[in-house]
Amino acid sequence: MQPQTTTSRISWIDMAKGYGTILVIYAHLGVGPLWTWIYSFHLPLFFFLSGYVFNIKHNLKDFLFKKMKSIVIPYFCLGIPMYLFRETYTLLIAGNFSLAEACYHFKQLLLQQRFWTLWFIACLFCLNIAFYAIAKLFRNEWQIALISVIFACVGLCYYKLGGTPLYWNADVCLTAMPFFAFGYLYKLHAKQVDDFIMSKSILFFAIFALINIVSWRLSLDETGLGLEMFESNYGNPIFTHIAAFAGIFCVIIASKRFTLEPIRYLGENSMIYYAWHQTIMIPIFTKVFSFVGIDILTSYGLIGIVIYKCICLIGIVVALTFCNWCIGKLGWKFMVGK
């Protein structure tokens, strides 16, 4: 197990983000029922980790400047190439280009209402601002926890009453707040929690994994829905939240137990992998693999499909690693918030 130093904590966060990045890409490749299980905790994991690294010490001006640099600038620097690729792809490859649709996509890029994978980045900016206000107003940990739960209840009621996505997905700030807030609170008590959990990490990993799977299945069996924040679906909120937190702690245990450099690298550079994998890379690899015949594996049943999706996953990761390397070499790290 890694020693609990500042450096190792940064390392385990990158490990956790790396695991989450792989799960996001794999789920978006379309892997049958498996994607609903991945969705039970993968985005809550990112919200939780963002809460963990949240820093309340900055004044409002410095805080906003920092978030503009690390979130808003990457949003547009990564979003504009996505937009240009998508419109070029539909014009040259798909052959169904529509000027009206292109204008609509550009409007959505600016207003952002669940627009492609960028929706999460926009939501994260709003969430940071909302939590900054909460953390400044309520210094007591129990108050912060209670306020975050109230936010979630308001968000669930909003969707229950037919509420639609708000600009920059501000509505998701309500339901994502508990994950962000409890990530922040976990940081304050990480040593005590880790002393208790990590001493029997294998046992607790198994317990949390079981809780995650059982809660996920209970929500599916009762409502037919799991957790899908993009679609504003929360199934049975009690079961889905239990499943999410259990899944989060499974990833935390694995991340603190082992350090794998390739996974850590993905987590350290997760922005480009998250942003570009679905809108840019998946269409490219689908066409390429169809052309060379690798997609024939899907005709061999579940095993063939899993193998095909794993090949796609590896190809996408390699391609985006090269893109990230190019960004670094060109000195354009501002594109990914660095």
Residue 296 lies in a domain: yes
Does 34 score more than 90 pLDDT?
no
> Per residue in 38-85, pLDDT tens?
999 999 999 999 999 998 888 999 999 999 999 999 999 999 999 999
Residue 312: inside a domain: yes
The C-alpha angle 17, 23, 24, rounded to 5 degrees, equals 85
Structurally, how many domains does the chain consist of?
A: 1
Which pTM value belongs to this model?
A: 0.93
Please indicate, yes or no, if residue 47 is contained in any of the structural domains. yes
At residue 8, the pLDDT reads 43
pLDDT value at position 9? 47
**Residue 99 counted as domain residue:** yes
In this prediction, residue 2 has a pLDDT band, given cuts at 50, 70 and 90, of very low
pLDDT tens by residue, 262-314:
999 999 999 999 999 999 999 999 899 988 888 888 887 878 888 999 999 99
Assess if residue 1 is contained within a domain.
no
- The domain in which residue 13 lies consists of 6-336
Q: Where are the beta strands (DSSP E) in 111-263?
A: none
Query: Whole-angstrom Cα distance, residue 137 to residue 60?
Result: 13
Please, are residues 200 and 193 in contact by the beta-carbon 8 Å criterion? no
Average pLDDT in the 157-181 region? 95
With a CB cutoff of 8 Å and minimum separation 6, the contacts of 49 are 13, 16, 17, 20, 183
Residues 227-268: pLDDT tens digits? 999 999 999 999 999 999 999 999 999 999 988 999 999 999
Is 170 part of any domain? yes
